[in-house]
Each structure stands twice: as C-alpha cells, then as structure tokens.
Amino acid sequence: MSHPIHEANEKSPYGNLTKEAFYKKHNILHQESSFTNAQNMNIFTQSWQPNDPSRPIAAFLGMIHGYTSESGWLFELNAVAAAKSGLFVCALDLQGHGLSDGPRDHITDIQPLLDDCLRFFADARARHPPGLPAFLYGESLGGALALLACLRQGACQAPWRGLILSGAMLEVSKKFKPVWPLEKLLPAAAYVAPAWRIAITPPPGRRSYREGWKRELAAGSPSRRTCGRPTAATAQQLLSVCECIKRECGGVDVAMLILHGGEDVICDPEGARRLYEAAASKDKTIKVYDGAWHQLIGESNEFVEEVFDTVLTWIKVRADLTNIN
C-alpha cells in the first residue's frame, strides 16, 4: 500500500489536489464534528474510513497528536493510510490546538486534555460493534496521553487491544529542557507567572522533522496555533506527565508497539526503552530507528512507508487474533 505522504509537497499534504479531491482519490469517507467539553470548550474531531459500505471495518484506531500539532494536515496522512487499509480512524484536536478552543501553547493542567480523549474515544467506540478490536495511537505528547488513557480507562469499558507509541513523550530530552537552574525553578515560575513564555527553550518544530520541506509543510498549516515557545505552566506540566509515567508505567499491560527516533532531541529515546523494560505487557515490541528525528513522518518518504507498514501489519495481526478469539 502506498502511503499518501508520497503525494504531499511543501505547500500541501494533499499535493496538487483539493482536500475533497484527495479523499475521493483514496476512496475515503471523511467526516468532521465537535463536542463541548467540561470546560465549555468546543473540541474539534474528525474521522476517516473506507468509502465502501460493502467493506467491513477491520479495526478501530484512535489517534492523538502531539504538542503544537493537530489532528489534520500532515498528521492526518497516517490516518488516511490506516483508513485505506480498512480501519475506522478518528482523532481530536487537543485543547489549544488546531480548530479546538483553548489558549495556544498554554497547558495549565494535563487532566482536562486526558478527559477529552477518554470521553471522545469512549463515545466513538460506542458507535461500533462491541467486538471490534480497538487500538490507540499517539505521537509525542499524544503518546503520553494514549498511555495514560490505557491506565485510566474505566473498568466498565472494553480494553484497548493495542497501543502504538511514536516518539512518545515519556522523558523530555536534556537538549530540550530549560537550562539549569531554570528547570529547578520551573515549579515556582509556573505558579507565579504561568503564562510566561520560555524564550530560551528552542521551538520543537525545528528539530522534529528531518526533511526541510516537511518542516515547511508542518509550519504552513492554516490551522496551526503555536508561536513555538511553551509557557512556564506548559513546561511544568510536560515534565510532570513524564514523572507520572515513570511511576506508573509498570502497570501497563496492553499490547504495545513502541517506535522512536534514535536522534530524537525532543523526547529522549531512553524513556521509550524504560517503558519497554518496565511495562507488564506480555506482547511488547520496541523499535528505535538509528538517525531518525522526533517525528517519524518527517524522515524520507521511503522510511515513512516502511514504518507505517510495520504499524499496519502489527495492528492487522492483533485484530485478526481478536476476531479469531
């Protein structure tokens, strides 16, 4: 299967096509919606699936984007690739990202973002047959949220069949953290001046996508809502989430596929290795790609094809096992 990244250019993920023509070419039914969350914010959501009523849905895939990213544009190319293979795929724009309400680059509490994810995916799964195998995919901050979603899932909900983490934020790289002594003073700064933007922290986009044209493409999204500088409150929340995962990752027992760039200077690959060693999961795989950066879709198109083929094969094997059982 050809990944749609091959059609993208530096101006548009849809290449020379309109968005509608792009979906039509790939025979994808794309739908947009929204819901009002507990903070009275409008949260944008969207879904992709094969535009063929006679084709049965093979599995459910929930996707969570990373910090400063969004569910559409470059991120959605993976969603389209998954939908082309027969999956129902859905995603939301996190608060303060994309088309959702909320202040940009400013996260004062990670819990409301997690609550939005839990609510959205529970509602989306409820609209499908209960036996449909369901998987969760997260990139960067979305990977941390996906992991926490598995840990926080209510006992009355059907478990996730598998968890795919790509460049997950399990440990912030020392190359990206605020310099000492600011890191030690960060809790106080987040309390006194939560909206202060940390100018000495490099914008993550510069070191996320290896290929220059993909950095340009990501930065050119019309829905992108970032100045590239996190606030003190955001930085504190991101570090706190990593510490929380360190404490609780031993309780993860879902099947896991962990993918990480070996040269990721945003999220340290050591966090991925630590999760792999600590997780209670009996079915777990880790792949650390030498030389790759934070966003794996930011590598060469051939590499993207290889990585996402790995993801889809991993899902298909476990979906088939679920259907057999």
160-191 pLDDT, tens digit each = 999 999 999 999 887 766 554 455 556 665 65
Q: Would you state the structure tokens that stand for residue 173, as one six-digit string?
A: 């790289």
What are the residue ranges in the chain where pLDDT is below 70?
1, 154-157, 176-203, 205, 227-228, 321-325
| pLDDT per position as a tens digit, 225-244 | 776 678 888 888 988 999 99
Count CA within 13 A, CB hemisphere, residue 9.
Answer: 5
* The CA-based dihedral angle spanning residues 240, 226, 167, 303, taken in that order and rounded to the nearest 10 degrees: 180
pTM for the predicted model, two decimal places: 0.93
The pLDDT of residue 255 = 97
HEC readout, 13-35: CCCCCCHHHHHHHCCEEEEEEEE
How many of the other CB atoms lie within 10 Å of CB of 44? Answer: 21
Quickly list H helices, the chain. Answer: 19-25, 76-84, 111-126, 141-152, 182-192, 212-219, 232-248, 269-278, 301-324
The pLDDT of residue 186 = 60
How many of the other CB atoms lie within 10 Å of CB of 38? Answer: 9
Angstrom distance (rounded) from CA 85 to CA 198: 42
The pLDDT of residue 227 = 63
The pLDDT of residue 325 = 42
Q: What are residue 204's phi and psi, to 5 degrees? A: -65, -30
The pLDDT of residue 153 = 78
The pLDDT of residue 248 = 93
CATH of domain 4-324: 3.40.50.1820
Beta bridge partners of 231: 197
